[in-house]
Every structure is written in C-alpha cells, then in structure tokens.
Amino acid sequence: MNPFTRRRVTVAILLAVCSPPAVAQVPNALDDIFIPDYSYAGYGFGEIQPETGDWKRIDVTEHDIRADDGIDDTKALNRLLESLQGDSTPVVLEFPEGRYEITDIIHINRSHTVLRGAGTGEGGSEFYIPRPLLYATRPPELTELSEYLVKLKKIQREKDRNIELPYSPWSWTGGFFWTGVRGQRVKSYLADYDTAGPSPTRLTEGKKGALSFVVDNADGLEAGQVVQINWYNPEGEGGSFLEQLYGDSNVTIGSHHWNFPKLPLSRQQAQIETVSGNTLTIKSPLLHDVDTRWNVDLTAWQHLEEVGFEHFRITFPPQPQVAHHVEPGFNAIYLTGLFNGWVRDIVIENADSAILTEGISNVTIERVTTQGSSLAHYSVQLGGVHNVLVKDLVVENRVRHPLSFNTFANKSVYLNAFVRQNPVLDQHAGANHHNLFDHTRVQVKLDPSVEESGYALFEGGGAGYWKPSHGINTTFWNTQVVFTNGALFEKPILLNGMEDGPGARVIGVSANLPIGVKYGPNAYIEGVGTYYSEIPSLYLNQLNRRLAK
C-alpha cells in the first residue's frame, strides 16, 4: 500500500510583499474567514488563576532535603512525595534558597501538589542536575517507545558527519520532574500494547463549536467529570475524517493516519457541565462535528489535577550536541496526564528539552526562560495537548525547534513568546491542528544567501508517515520580526519554509525591513508588513469578549 495519499485539489501558494511595518486597526479576517476560538486555553479555561493560599506548606529541610550540603537530594525528595501519596491534602513543597542536586527522576503522581522555590535569581532556589536521563532509573513508561524505535528502525543518519546512531528514547520524552498517573500509558506507539477497556460511550449528535451534544448512554456521567472525546479514521486511506483535518488541499498524508484505525487522530479533554438525559453540556466548544463515520466516542481520562512548579531554576552542565534525535536526556520537566496545572517563573539552562508534554489539558506555562550554551532540541514543546497556554516564554539559547506544536496538539496557544536567535515556528506533523502563534516576537540574524532563498521562519518537522506538517486553521497573529542585519539587502526578505501546511491563517507579519511571506498551500495571508495595534493578541481579545458576555 502506498504510505502516502493526497487530497484531491491542487491549490496555489499565496505570496505577499510589503514595505517596513505599518500600523492598522482590525484585519478583515475577523469578518471574512473562520478563525477558531482559542479563548479556552490555559488553567481554568483562562478564567481564573491558581490559588494555593490555604494549602498546607511543607518546608523540605524538615525532611532531610537541604541546599548546598553536597548531598544528593533525589532519594529524600522521592521519599517525601511517596509519603504523601495516600493523603489528599493539598500541599506546597517549599525549597528555601540554595542549590539542590538531583540525579534521578522525581515522580509527581498525586494531585494538588506544588513544588515552589524562592525565586530564579540571586537568593533563589536551583535544582542542579549533573547527568542526563540516560543514566537514570529507566521507567516502565519507556518500554513501548523503545520497542517502537527498534521496530521502525529509527536511525539518525548524517553521512557527512559519519553519524549512524539509533534514536534516543529521551529525544522527545521524559524529564527529571515527571507528572503522571502511576501505571498509566503515556502515549500509544504500538498496537500490541492496546488493551480492551470498558465499552465507550458513543456520540450520536453534535456540531463543531457547540457546547452540547448527544450520547447513546449517559449512565455514570456527571457534572464536573473531565473526560476525553475521540475522533477516529476507520475508513482507511481516503477516510472522510482526513478532510476534517486537512481540508480539500493537495497535501501528502502519511500512512499513520490509516494504519492505526483504533488510534484517535483528534482528542479533546472536556469537563462536563450538565447531564440532561443523554444530552451533555461541556465547558469548551466541541472540536469537530459528530459523524457516525468517525466512531466518535467518549472515554474515561485518567489524570492529575492542580499540580504546579514555580519560582526556581533548573541547571544542567554544558554538553556537546552529538546529533539530532540522539540526545542523552538533559530534559527538565515532563508534563503528562495533567488537567488544570501550571508552570511559572522558571529558568532552565543547558537543557536538551526544557519542557515536554503529552496528554495534558488546560495547563498554563508562563514566564519560562530557556538559556545556555548547549544546542537544545526543544524549549517548551506542545505534543498531545488540548487547550494549553504557553505565555511569555523567552528562548535565549539555540534550539532546533524553539516553538513547536507536535503530534496531536490542538487548540493550544503560544502567547507573547520571544525567540532571540535562530527562530523557527515549528509544526511537527502528527495531526496537530487549530493551534495559535499569538503576538510572537523573533530576532533574526541573516545569512547573505537569504537575500535570494528567504528565511525559513515557518517550518514543518516530523516523520513522513505523520505528514503533513499541520492541519487546517493553524493561526499566526501579529508576528513581529527584528532583523539584526540585512539593511543593505536590495530585495525584501522572504519569510518561508512551510510547503505542506494547508489552510493556515497568517495575519499581521511585521518587520524592521521589507518582507514577503510565502506559505502554503491554500493559506489566508493578510497584513504583511502590518501590526494590528487594536488587537495585539487574538487570544486575549477572544477571552475578554467571551468573559464580557
């Protein structure tokens, strides 16, 4: 069987060129085209902030965890967390100023748990991690991924550098601070690991964007539950759900979209508001239509709630970069199975990947800075997420994929991100769709060859079997580019790089030099050379309008 398929219609790639930035009020796109409602992203659906004022405080120094004493703190911290496992009391673990040494995975397997330091600067708290996950205790969650990498013969080959090395399981997975439900499968890679669960609840009626839908049986469902809604492609290579994801565009679709018919291609974690007969009302709008051809179902979602990380640094030693995909695992935080969580005011230095995610919803990651001399794989990566908000991220270091929507990411937002070098707005294939880059700032140092070839600001990574790079309705709003050189170039700088991402909305791209934008196929492009001052942030505009109703 052909591992790829193409949609039916060939469409043109739009190109627009304009002079240095103008200021405009409101783009026509708000009236002329469909733009997803991103306003439900973040902790508490964007409506509230975490409140831990009445939580129990635990000073970790009372549990043999002391800064600057030259003693590894891993076992003591895991003992403390394990001692709390059977207690549902909300707790804040407080780490006074100083350096704590961690050399193995810190597992957070309980809800209502916060790790809080004394700040990121002088007089703050630091977790120093001297060696990578390669030398950590190997968790059982890694077994399936490791088998997958062998079965698919995932090898990094770079002939000119004499590189022929197997992929590392830590390249996009794992972290020294790891949230998740104990024993829960983090991500599906192989059908051999699928297990039969209880019969799912089927959705029988529902429209994209609606807050209510009908199920075949609402027994056992109640207000307050957080469940998962799943859309599948049981129809094979030409399945109708693929058009929901990618529109009617001439893009190559990889074989993973039909080789695993029991794997949902789109997932939405949803909080039930009301149950009336077989009609459910949920907090955030339905991601897609309900169609019997897509076997749309509702399943239980095992997850943690109210887990937070705040006010500390994580530091790794500088390390050489051997090759892409063979990273040893200097990964800081891995968020899995989490609803209504947060990471805020964190500095992470010399990580392979600062924050990785999988299977989380309504999490806010804000005021995170990544820095260091080592080339990183990811800064804050969004994979397998729904309604996640990354706010005020600063990427100071060199990163292969500085901002990245990865496999199965949807309805999530990067807001006010600033990438200071080698910026790429990456969409990493794997049926990611309906995501937003909002009020993004990037700083670019141009190579002389760019005057002819352009700068690849918009790129799509990922394996061919998960292509194209993204689904329809990806949105870029008020992207601002600062070129640190290139003033003598005779031609506008062409911002390009995305050839197979269908149906994007590219609205407001401004720069300090003349620019053009090339994006395709079938992209809506408006406001090249324009900053929309009346609505700096699409997410905040949508949120404020919703809350004002």
Confidence of residue 35 (pLDDT cuts 50, 70, 90): very high
Judge whether 476 and 506 are in contact, CB under 8 Å. yes
Looking at the predicted structure, is the pLDDT value of residue 371 above 90? yes
Cβ(385)–Cβ(336) below 8 Å = no
Q: What share of the chain in percent tops pLDDT 90?
A: 89
Is the per-residue pLDDT at 17 higher than 90? no
Long-range contacts of 148-152 (CB under 8 A, 24+ apart): 148/189, 148/190, 151/190
Q: What is the DSSP string of 468-491?
A: SS--TT-EEEEEEEEESS-TT-SS
- Nearest Cα to Cα of residue 547 among 14, 44, 23, 13: 44
**Strand 530-532 to 22-24 pairing:** parallel
The dihedral built from the CA positions of residue 204, 208, 210 and 211, taken in this order, carries a sign that is positive
Compute the average pLDDT of residues 274-296.
Answer: 98
pLDDT in tens, 313-352: 999 999 998 999 999 999 999 999 999 999 999 999 999 9
Mean pLDDT of the chain: 94
Element of type H or E holding 73: none
Average pLDDT over residues 237-255: 94
**pLDDT band of 20, cuts 50, 70, 90:** low
